[in-house]
Amino acid sequence: MTLKNLENQFEVLWPLGRKAVRARTAAARLPDLAGKTVGELWDYIFRGEIVYPMIREHLRARFPGIKFVDYSVFGNFHGAKSKEISSGLADQIRSHGCDAIISGIGA
Amino acid sequence: MKQAALVSRGLGVPLAIAEYPGAPMVDSDEELRAKVERNLLPAIIKGLTSVERPEPDKAPVEPEPGAVVFKGTLDEVEEYFHQQLWSDGLPVIPPTRERVDAFLNFTDRDPHEVIGTLPQEGREADILSIAVNGVMAGCRPEYMPLLVAIVEAISDPNFRIETAGSTPAWEALVIVSGPVIKDLDLNYGQGVMKVGRQANSSIGRFVRLFFRNLCGYRIPPGTGDKGSIGYTFNVALAEDEEWTRKIGWPTFAMDVGFKAGENVVTVQSVTTISPPTYSAGDTAVAHVQQFADVFGRVFSYLAHSGVKRGYWYPLIVIGPAIATVIAQQWSKDEVRRFLWEKMTMPASLMRHFCAQTAGQELDFSKLVKEGTLPDYYAASSDPDRPIPIIVKPEHIGLVVAGDPGRNQSRGYMSNNVQGTRTSRHVELPRDWERLLERERQKQSAPRAPI
């Protein structure tokens, strides 16, 4: 008999919890952004004031008629008013007719 | 970026993710532009236009709560838990059914009662999961009512547990009040914040394990915790209520709205700890001025992150001997008022620290205008005007604890509104006294000498 067999055996329980989130399918993508409206969400950190204008410039050059709803319209979803802004975001996005959203940046 | 994928899975929402390589705060404008063009833009365009929709995550089938997931020797269990990333790197007590049931005996609640669904993995925090992680952390069964109250506190949306994986790497601090301190043998005296007393240490460890296992905040090789450097977990802090009453001050639990003698846990984030701070003299002002001088300097660096959101929670642990001197002359509210008035810094320096952190402009006038900050933050246009580092006096927490034989205090800083100070009543089981007595008898049973 080996020493291992003399040791106690432990049956141990799973330490996590049940996942309660139902996986959803993504909305259909937009093969062509020409004439579409893209909303911007920004948490006002990590140099988005440089990044977002670059994104706009490149997308405008590639997709004629593309429109943007500037991040300032939605406000800082990670700032002092984060709860109020986040809870109203879906309605805001709908009311501005956004076809797609770019959200940034980091944490 | 692994955290973004984890959050996406936790929300059940498949997202297209564009990654900026490296740290944008240290890149030149040219490097930043080059990385945006080379890395971000192609990924953004692909994410927006790809005809293939991101598919819902095909998560592997997981065990049911309460299921036996492994059988083996102690060494094999430890190895298995390490491999699964279910431990914090230290050995855990094997959560056998017998041990878990002993914890469940200390609550009247159904093991399958769900307290909340926690970010960022979207898992249900139920009573059973509290017991299992309590066993693993080395808690005693009688700590269970406290553990449940802690999970109720951190599940409150106001606590913002979804922020616990942020880069400052804050850790939760549990503050315990009420008769349960003595019932459970929590240390509130000398060495109160050191690892060493079973209740304080294991309850602190439980919180860290719960954040890992139920929320998914794991450092590499795990994902989800983006803490850049970090520090270890905090042991639970118990207040010296007897001393506090003796000097005529309300307890911390009373300060946060509970009745005298009520069992309460409070949880808040801590991201910065002051040096051990000595103060001398027989006047209140001598000690509280020292707090302002030392804690004011320590807190001033990160104060911007709370000020820009309108609040944050400093906590001061005052040595009992010092509290005695102060209480002879000042109420707790007078201490808070003095600290709020004296702990200031130049507005320009706070703006500088804010910009260095994440490039954000701190516009006091705008924050006052939108109602986030009181008027005094924009009372002058002098860029170097002194401004309070604590937004309102009532945000300051004061706890009497530590060595009564030394003149030392210490300051703890929350990570802005993340881990907002949140309190819960501790619900004891109906037959608490009998259960506790039975457990004590087991613990004091004579052991055969070697």
Q: What pLDDT is stored for residue A82 in this prediction?
A: 84
Burial pattern B1-31, b for ≥16 Cβ within 10 A else e, equals eebbebbbbbbbbbebebebeeebeebeeee
Tell me if chain A has a CB within 8 Å of the CB of B8: no
Tell me the H-state helices in chain A. 3-6, 48-62, 71-74, 82-95
> By mean pLDDT, which of A26-40, B4-18, B173-187, B251-265 is the weakest?
B4-18
Q: How many angstroms away from the CA of A90 is the closest CA of chain B? A: 15
DSSP string, B363-420: -HHHHHHTTSS-GGGGS---TT-EEESSS-GGG-EEEE-S-TTS-EEEEEE-BTTBT-
Q: What pLDDT is stored for residue B199 in this prediction?
A: 98
Which H helix or E strand runs over B277? strand B277-278
Average pLDDT for B364-368: 95
Instruction: Tell whether B288 is covered by a domain.
Output: yes
Instruction: Tell whether B400 is covered by a domain.
Output: yes
**In a shared domain, residues B28 and B157:** no
Beta strands in B68-170 (DSSP E): 68-72, 114-118, 123-126
Q: What is the mean pLDDT of chain B?
A: 95
**In a shared domain, residues B189 and B289:** yes
> By mean pLDDT, which of A65-79, B193-207, B264-278, B391-405 is the weakest?
A65-79
The ipTM of this complex is 0.92
Structural domain range at position B7: 2-49
**Residue B227 CA, distance from chain mean position:** 14
Instruction: Tell whether B55 is covered by a domain.
Output: no
**In a shared domain, residues B26 and B167:** no
Instruction: Tell whether B190 is covered by a domain.
Output: yes
**In a shared domain, residues B150 and B226:** yes
Average pLDDT for B105-120: 97
Q: What pLDDT is stored for residue B55 in this prediction?
A: 66
Amino acid at B55: E
Q: How do residues B194-225 score in pLDDT, each as one tens digit?
A: 999 999 999 999 999 999 999 999 999 999 99
**In a shared domain, residues B78 and B45:** no
Nearest CB to B136: which of A15, A25, A79? A15
**In a shared domain, residues B185 and B244:** yes
Residue B9 has pLDDT above 90, yes or no: no
SS3 content of chain B, % helix, strand, coil (to 5): 45, 15, 45
pLDDT in tens, chain A (107 residues): 455 555 799 999 999 999 998 878 878 888 899 999 999 999 988 999 999 999 999 999 999 999 999 999 999 888 888 888 999 999 999 999 999 999 987 65
Which H helix or E strand runs over B180? helix B180-183
Instruction: Tell whether B212 is covered by a domain.
Output: yes
Looking up tokens 């041990």 gives: B99
**In a shared domain, residues B45 and B83:** no
User: What is the C-alpha to C-alpha distance for residues B65 and B304, in angstroms, rounded to an integer?
Assistant: 42
**In a shared domain, residues B224 and B131:** yes
**In a shared domain, residues B92 and B45:** no
Q: Please name which of B291, B379, B297, B294 lies closest in space to residue B336, comparing C-alpha atoms.
A: B291
* Chain B residues 353-372 with a CB less than 8 Å from chain A: 357-360, 367, 370, 372
Interchain contact, A12 vs B56, CB within 8 Å: no
Nearest CB to A11: which of B59, B96, B114? B96
Q: What pLDDT is stored for residue B430 in this prediction?
A: 96
Q: What pLDDT is stored for residue A5 in this prediction?
A: 56
**In a shared domain, residues B220 and B172:** yes
Residue B448 has pLDDT above 80, yes or no: no
Q: Please name which of B313, B339, B332 lies closest in space to residue B395, comparing C-alpha atoms.
A: B313
Average pLDDT for B395-405: 98
Amino acid at B24: P
Instruction: Tell whether B350 is covered by a domain.
Output: no
Chain A hits for B48, Cβ within 8 Å: 29-30, 33, 38, 100, 102
Count of domains forming chain B: 2
**In a shared domain, residues B34 and B93:** no
Structure tokens at B382: 């002098």
Q: How do residues B281-324 score in pLDDT, each as one tens digit?
A: 999 999 999 999 999 999 999 999 999 999 999 999 999 999 99
- Please tell me the pTM assigned to this model: 0.94
Nearest CB to A17: which of B74, B86, B214? B214
The contacts of residue B226 (CB under 8 Å, 6+ apart) are A107, B3, B165, B166, B167
Residue B113 has pLDDT above 60, yes or no: yes
Instruction: Tell whether B432 is covered by a domain.
Output: no
Instruction: Tell whether B378 is covered by a domain.
Output: no
* Chain B residues 39-58 with a CB less than 8 Å from chain A: 40-41, 44-45, 48-57
Interchain contact, B370 vs A14, CB within 8 Å: no
**In a shared domain, residues B205 and B160:** yes
Q: How many angstroms away from the CA of B251 is the closest CA of chain A? A: 30
